[in-house]
Structure 1
């Protein structure tokens, strides 16, 4: 076994055990994990897009924004997360207009900030939040793994050749089917009935996770980098590992917010929305 493969295996085990432990514990442990993901994503986004090398005042504001969002996530009020993110993103857009800096600057704040906020909101603080997070993990992991193997086994027409030449329509369909099955299996393991709502959401999250993968591939191709960073030995960067997860998290979180506003159910958690509780 090569030393590179050993590094990949050890890193994968550490990441999986740490993530699942934080998910099981919930509360502060998962909020810290979400904040670490947020900070890592902004660091990698800034590095890939060159924000650190130009327009220093805007770059400094970006880190101030991420630090503020992280602190609110860990010791603040979760209800303030979205309004705070919206205000910081709008401020970044104003700075973009006034200083003519890179458009990737406000995008990085929004993308990284929403990543942490969404994941923390899905996990929440109760047992249902644990199930919801495992449900999202299962969909994303099943989609990613089966898309790879089905795509290699069947091949066929490319999904997005200009962005990610290795991905095929057969892999995307295979990944989506497996994601729905995995999400349904998790739901049925914890709840007596399997609803069309849960299966339909699994379908949307599986598709969203693949869009997230393509989105990160687009950024890397746009800036000519192979990995988002070298933070994870043998695996590249955090964005390389969570691109599908954060897009699936975005989708579940935003749909829950829209549903709460539409039905006037302001106190409904993301987990309750996922399982129709």
Structure 2
């Protein structure tokens, strides 16, 4: 076994242990992990897009905004987090719109901030939060792993050759099927009555996770970088590891908001929503 492979394995074990422990304990522990992920995503985004060089003031506002969101989520009133975040994103977007400059800074703030907020919302404070987060993990990991192996085994037409030449339609379909099966199985392990809704949600999250993977590939290709950073030994950066996860969380978060706003029903918690309870 090569030293690089050993490093990848050790790093993966440490990351999984930390994330699962924080997910189990919930509360402040998980919020700290969610805030850390968001802050590191913004760091990598601003580095990739060279915001620190091209727009120092905008980048400073981005850091200020991420700090405000993180602190409010950790120690403030949870109900103020989304309105506060929306106001900060709009504030960041106004100069970009008026001056017709690039949108990388407000885009990065939106991406990083939503990562923190959606992760925290899914885990929540209720007893379903742990199972809900496991559900998302299993869907994303199943999708990612099977997409790789099915794509290699079957091959076929490329999914997005200009963005990620290695991805195929067979891999995408295989990954989606695996994600749905994994999601349904984890739900069945915890609940007696698992309806079609769980499969629909797992499907949406699986597709979203693959879109997230392609999105990050597009960003890296646009700026000519291989990895988002070198923060994780043997794995590259945080964005490289959580691109699919955060997009799946985005999908769950907006499905819940859309359901509530559309009058389908009041979302008591993200866990209850994901499992149709």
After TM superposition, the score normalised by the length of structure 2 is 0.97
The change in CA–CA distance for 1:201 and 1:264 in structure 2 (over 3 A counts) is closer
* Corresponding residue for residue 232 of structure 1: 232
**Alpha-carbon distance between aligned partners in 1 of 2:173 and 2:183, rounded to the nearest angstrom:** 15
C-alpha distance in structure 2 between counterparts of 1:112 and 1:194, whole Å? 33
Deviations 1:86-137 (A, max 9, x none): 1001000112234554310100011100011001000001220111100000
User: Are 1:209 and 1:245, in contact at CA under 8 Å, matched by a contact in 2?
Assistant: yes
Residue in 2 that maps onto 1:208: 208
- CA, structure 1 residues 264+192, in 2 after alignment: closer, same or farther (shift >3 Å)? closer
In the TM superposition, residue 51 of structure 1 has moved relative to its aligned partner by 0.4
Determine the C-alpha separation between the residues in 2 that align with 1:100 and 1:205.
Answer: 34
Secondary structure at the residue paired with 2:165?
strand
Q: How does 1:229-268 map to 2 (within 5 A)?
A: 229-263=229-263, 265-266=265-266, 268=268
Moved more, 73-82 or 30-39: 73-82
CA distance in 2, matches of 1:233, 1:191: 38
Summarize deviations over 1:182-240 as a string: whole Å, max 9, x none.
00000000000111001011001000000000000000000000000001000000000
Q: Which stretches of structure 1, 4 residues or more, deviate above 3 A after TM superposition?
A: 97-101, 264-267
Distance 1:262 1:271 in 2: 19
Is it true that 1:187 corresponds to 2:174 in the alignment? no
Contact map agreement 1:55 1:101 (CA 8 A) in 2: no
1:8 paired with 2:8, answer: yes
TM (normalized to structure 1)? 0.97
Matches within 5 A, 1:49-64: 49-64=49-64
Structure 2: 5+ residue runs without aligned partners? none
8 Å CA contact retained: 2:143, 2:179: yes
Q: After superposition, where does 1:167-182 map in structure 2 within 5 Å?
A: 167-182=167-182
* Residue 263 of structure 1, CA deviation: 2.4
CA apart distance, 1:265: 4.6
**Shift of the alpha carbon at 1:85?**
1.3
**Inter-partner Cα distance in structure 1 for 2:120 and 2:156:** 38
Determine if contact 2:183/2:199 at 8 Å carries over to the other structure: yes
Q: Is the deviation greater in 140-149 or in 74-83?
A: 74-83
3-state SS of paired residue (1:191): coil
1:67 aligned to 2:93? no
Q: 1:97-246 counterparts in 2 under 5 A?
A: 97-246=97-246
Q: Could you tell me how far apart the structure 2 residues matched to 1:59 and 1:100 are?
A: 16
Alpha-carbon distance in structure 2 between the residues aligned to 1:84 and 1:272: 25
CA pair 264-76 structure 1, distance change in 2 beyond 3 A = farther
Number of aligned residue pairs: give it.
Answer: 277
For 1:67 and 1:148, the matched residues in 2 are separated by 36
SS at match of 1:149: helix
On the 8 A contact 1:41/1:112 being kept in 2, the answer is yes
- Asked if the contact 1:51–1:102 (Cα under 8 Å) also holds between the matched residues in 2, the reply is no
Q: CA RMSD in A?
A: 1.1
Q: Report the Cα offset of residue 262 of structure 1.
A: 2.1
- Is the deviation greater in 56-65 or in 254-263? 254-263
